[in-house]
Amino acid sequence: MNKKENLLSTKGKKNLRHFKNVGLGFKTPREAMEGHYIDKKCPFTGNISIRGRILTGTVIKMKMQRTIVIRRDYLHYVKKYNRFEKRHKNMSVHLSPCFRDVQLGDIVTVGECRPLSKTVRYNTLKVMKSGGSKKSFSKF
């Protein structure tokens, strides 16, 4: 970062933004490479490594600063009745500022990282827009 050529030459040139490829085939968004935000918990421009589980969910709340609540639906099998029942778990997940157009109901892919706060252990890696479906049950 403090390399000599950078210190003396770069007088406001490309401005040396740090970003990285998180691996596992996830594309780092253009907004992360060209934006100006600073987020130490962003998987692309911050000090976070994504390792462990990769999960998906749908966005239900976006009221927190830089973090969202996603809902993961699943079916639980009851042996006695040979049938399934619907269950869901909510999860708080960090959302980097590079994902700008996120609406309620979007499907989001999250990857496991180290604990970022009391309840946040996952970080958003990819956002897929939803058609328009609201809080209906959809299994992944």
Partner 1 sequence: MGISRDKWHKRRKTGGRMNQMRKKRKFELGRPGSNTKLGPRRIHTVRTMGGNKKYRALRLDTGNFSWGSEAISRKTRMIDVMYNASNNELVRTKTLVKSCIVQIDATPFRQWYEAHYASPLGRKKGVKLTEAEEKVLNKMDNASKKLKKKYEARKKLAKVEPALEEQFSASRVLAKISSRPGQCGRCDGYILEGKELEFYLRKLKTKKGK
* Cα gap 124→16, rounded to integer Å: 24
CA distances from 112 to 34, 75, 78, 105, 123 (A): 25, 22, 29, 21, 6
Instruction: List, in sequence order, every residue forming a beta bridge with 85; answer none if it has no partner.
Output: 76
x/- letters, 85..114, toward partner 1 (CB under 8 A):
-------x----------------------
CB 6 → partner 1: shortest distance, Å? Answer: 7
Who's near 90: CB < 8 A, 6+ residues apart?
Answer: 60, 69, 70, 71, 72
Region binding partner 1 by CB under 8 A among candidate stretches 2-10, 44-52, 54-62, 127-135: 2-10
Which of 7, 36, 101, 131 binds partner 1 (CB under 8 A)? It is 7
CB 96 → partner 1: shortest distance, Å? Answer: 22
Which of 21, 47, 103, 119 binds partner 1 (CB under 8 A)? It is 119
Instruction: Assess 40 for contact with partner 1 (CB under 8 A).
Output: no
Interface residue list for partner 1 (CB under 8 A): 1-4, 6-8, 92, 118-119
